[in-house]
Amino acid sequence: MTETEQLLATARQVATDEARALDALAEGFDNRFADAVRLILEAKGRVIVSGIGKSGHIGRKIAATLASTGTPAHFVHPAEASHGDLGMLSKGDVVLAISNSGEAPELADLLLFTRRFDIPLIGLSSRPGSTLMTQADVHLQIPAMGEACGYGIVPSISTTLTLAMGDALAIAIMKYRDFRPENFRDFHPGGKLGARLSKVRDLMHEGIALPLVQDSTPMSDALIEISQKGFGVVGVTGAEGALVGIITDGDLRRHMEGLLDHSAADVMTKAPTTIAPDALAEEAVAVMNARKITCLFVVDPQSGPEALGLLHIHDCLRAGLG
């Protein structure tokens, strides 16, 4: 076997071992998981996550995932907890303590504090008889399946299982609370993810920026509106202000002969495609791409047929979509 073949064989073995462990974790979920979820849902304060070493690294990620999905959470380093950070815990909090062995001495003061002040404790470990698990109010047990290195000394399978357990907790709580993508964006306003979760109302043009004319408007005035607003289109409204049509460059070309003798109603395309203000901007991009158009008027079917805004494909591109 060549060196490359040996390296690839090791990589496949690690992935296979971890996948097998995840299957065992999935099969082993029981009422204790539901109890942990309920304990977090009932907490009036925050979820305090703690762990040392690799468990601590995973704990930070679990705390971040909980916080970003609507469950207030904070990571407290157990060594720092022993030197003043226990003051971060209070009545109403719930503690999620992580230790694969369940015997990390650095967690001792934290565990004692939760017992002394009656703060609910969730233990996450692979050893049911460990100190952590015997002290905990709820036990989250991961399968004890060794580590991918084969010697039991490199946290790999255990950290993967711990991470998966944390993800399962966060997502179960998120779904119970009906936490949706639009809520998720409140905690992720920046970057590509924030752009993907932007709503149409976040990007649309409104007010005096809207290119609108009445259906009786002469085309000479409609052309001025198109030119001044700079979107290459104009929306056409009826007598009561409802959006009844749109005039695009295609409509202008089709009516080029005697264009200025027409009214906006004569030239417009009726019943234009619209989008709701609370729709995701990513959905608007998909609609524009599918229909090969560059903008959408924004109409809220709940409040009425009036045009509330205009979303142009360039607005979406500037936000990082498309």
The pLDDT of residue 185: 57
Dump pLDDT digits (tens) for 276-314. Answer: 998 888 888 899 999 999 899 999 988 889 999 999 988
C-alpha span between 59 and 55 (Å, rounded): 6
Q: Average pLDDT of 85-111?
A: 93
**pLDDT at residue number 63:** 95
pLDDT at 216 over 70: yes
* Average pLDDT, integer, range 120-133: 96
Render pLDDT for 270-279 as a digit per residue (tens, 0 to 9).
Answer: 989 999 998 8
* Residue 183 banded pLDDT, cuts 50, 70, 90: low
Higher pLDDT, 191 or 259: 259
- Residues 240-254, mean pLDDT to the nearest whole number: 91
**Residue 196 scores a pLDDT above 70:** no
* pLDDT value at 70 more than 90: no
Note the pLDDT of residue 19. Answer: 97
Residue 265 to residue 20: CA distance in whole angstroms: 66
When the pLDDT of each residue in the chain is averaged and rounded to a whole number, the result is 90
Return d(Cα 7, Cα 115) in angstroms, integer.
Answer: 48
5-19, 81-95, 97-111, 130-144: range with lowest mean pLDDT: 81-95
Q: How confident is the model at residue 194 (pLDDT cuts 50, 70, 90)?
A: low
In this prediction, residue 319 carries a pLDDT of 75
**pTM of this prediction?**
0.67
* pLDDT for the residue 1: 83
